[in-house]
Amino acid sequence: MNFTNLVRSIQQTHTVLQYQANKAINRSLTIRNWLVGFYIIEFEQNGEDRAKYGEKLLSHLAVAIDIKGLGETNLKTSRQFYIIYPQIRQVLTDELKKLGFTSGSIRQSITDEFQHIEKQLLEIGQSPTSQFDDNLQLSPEKLISRLSYTHLVQLFPISDPVKRLFYEVECIKGSWSVAELKRQINSLYYERSGISKKPKKLSIQIAEKAERLQPADIVKSVFIFEFLGLKAKDVVEESDIETALLDHLQHFLLEMGHGFCFEARQKKILIGDEYFFIDLVFYHRVLKCHVLIELKVEEFNHINAGQPNTYLNYYKNEITEPADNPPVGILLVTNKNETLVEYATAGMDNTLFVSKYMVQLPGKEELKQFVQNELKQL
């Protein structure tokens, strides 16, 4: 063995075992959430004191169990998981034996299974009179071993079982990342495939452009963070430049003496069924409003512009107290020697307040100079 072979052997060993470890973590999370959904449904149907809780069951349950990652929203998701994928009970041998279930067997090889499913999906897409076989589904073993729980959550809103199965198959075949799965659902890939004269050609085009799942991507899921009791910032890989800029920016604003009170870094918020993270959140005691700061170590684009406004609208509707003024956003975008500093006001129409915050907050030129100096030092 030469040095090159030594390096290759260590890299391959690391990759394979890292992937296996990540799969084991995800499998455990998936099984836990399915079982949580099972317990909830069982209680709703047979619980001796179920009438006492009624529609407030999940909120009472979240408080009582007091486990990070099993708040009311996640309990609701787990319940939905059990309802949509009852077949998963077939692979939960040891866990479900305690509940009186017996395990099932895996039906076919993955190649035969995919060919069978794809054949019927194509028939359904080409013939309005074709009927969907209710028993046609991926084996539960493949669902929990080839799709992360975060992937599965993206499929919950899909009520059509054929459409959901289509994305399950395509996601596994293409090793799609979660972002890619969301992108294909939002771009109506299923519908486009159904009306396309050459669905196979479309599939090849999609495969060539798709973002593939990497082993480390699985444990970057918010669900995994919560399951392992980790904070997002302990695991999420930020660039050294971005981390340093946020560290210094936080200190810079607090040292200005303009009334900034630090609240959170990488503030997690839930919009619909998706989590987002705000880089820095302050409360300004003089302006009596939240100040949300987003930093992007890249050039300005339309996504950068829309993201802070989304956060501002969320804070305005969900967080702001009656006595507070509307939240303010600051967007910093760096592109080598150029810096864009932009204020977002979420459609404020109070001219006096706008004038006041321009005095109390650091000026655009001041922030621009700060970022430029930091980039030079870094």
Confidence of residue 83 (pLDDT cuts 50, 70, 90): very high
Confidence of residue 104 (pLDDT cuts 50, 70, 90): very low
Instruction: Give the position of tokens 């006001």.
Output: 345
Q: Assess whether pLDDT exceeds 70 at residue 351.
A: no
CATH number corresponding to 238-377: 3.40.1350
Confidence of residue 123 (pLDDT cuts 50, 70, 90): low
What's the confidence (pLDDT) of residue 82? Answer: 93
DSSP secondary-structure letter at 124?
A: H
Average pLDDT over residues 6-13: 85
In the chain, pLDDT over 90 holds for what percent of residues?
17
Q: Residues 174, 210: contact at Cβ < 8 Å?
A: yes
Confidence of residue 166 (pLDDT cuts 50, 70, 90): very high
Average pLDDT over residues 73-93: 88
What's the confidence (pLDDT) of residue 361? Answer: 82
Query: What is the pTM assigned to this prediction?
Result: 0.64
What's the confidence (pLDDT) of residue 231? Answer: 65
What's the confidence (pLDDT) of residue 153? Answer: 93
Confidence of residue 111 (pLDDT cuts 50, 70, 90): very low
What's the confidence (pLDDT) of residue 347? Answer: 57
Q: Assess whether pLDDT exceeds 50 at residue 29.
A: yes
59 or 375, which is more confident: 59
What's the confidence (pLDDT) of residue 30? Answer: 92
What's the confidence (pLDDT) of residue 15? Answer: 80
246 or 350, which is more confident: 246
**Ordered alpha helix ranges (H), the chain:** 3-46, 50-53, 57-65, 72-84, 93-97, 110-126, 140-146, 149-155, 161-174, 178-186, 189-195, 199-209, 222-228, 232-235, 240-255, 302-314, 351-360, 364-377
pLDDT digits (tens, 9 = 90+) for 209-258: 888 877 667 666 777 777 777 665 555 555 566 777 788 888 888 877 67
Average pLDDT over residues 160-173: 92
Highest mean pLDDT among 15-24, 43-52, 298-307, 323-332: 323-332
Edge-to-edge, what's the strand order for the sheet holding 260-271? 260-271, 274-284, 289-296, 328-335, 338-344
Confidence of residue 152 (pLDDT cuts 50, 70, 90): very high
305 or 106, which is more confident: 305
Backbone angles phi, psi at 243, to 5 degrees: -60, -45
Distances (CA, A) of 293 to 122, 146, 267, 301: 48, 37, 11, 16
User: Which amino acid would we find at residue 269?
Assistant: I
Could you give the 3-state DSSP secondary structure of residue 340? strand
Instruction: Give the span between the Cα atoms of 39 and 52, in whole angstroms.
Output: 17
Average pLDDT over residues 246-275: 82
- Please tell me the total number of residues recorded for the chain in this structure: 378
DSSP secondary-structure letter at 109?
A: -
What's the confidence (pLDDT) of residue 40? Answer: 92
Of the candidates 150, 214, 221, 158, the one whose C-alpha atom is nearest the C-alpha of residue 189 is 158
Longest dimension (CA), the chain: 74
Helix (H) / strand (E) element for 269: namely: strand 260-271
pLDDT digits (tens, 9 = 90+) for 298-332: 777 666 777 888 898 899 899 999 999 888 888 88
Average pLDDT over residues 46-50: 82
Structure tokens at 203: 């599939």
Domain ranges of the chain: 3-97, 110-216, 238-377
Instruction: Give the span between the Cα atoms of 87 and 101, in whole angstroms.
Output: 12
Of the candidates 314, 315, 346, the one whose C-alpha atom is nearest the C-alpha of residue 331 is 346
Instruction: Give the span between the Cα atoms of 309 and 292, in whole angstroms.
Output: 10
Report the interhelical angle of 3-46 vs 72-84 (nearest 10°).
90
Cα angle at 307 between 304 and 313, to 5 degrees? Answer: 150
In this structure, of 166-175, 179-188, 193-202, the range with the lowest mean pLDDT score is: 193-202
Q: What is the mean pLDDT of the chain?
A: 79
Cβ contacts of residue 59 below 8 Å, gap of 6+? 72
Average pLDDT over residues 18-35: 86
Instruction: Give the position of tokens 């486990």.
Output: 67
In this structure, of 190-194, 253-257, 263-267, 287-291, the range with the lowest mean pLDDT score is: 253-257
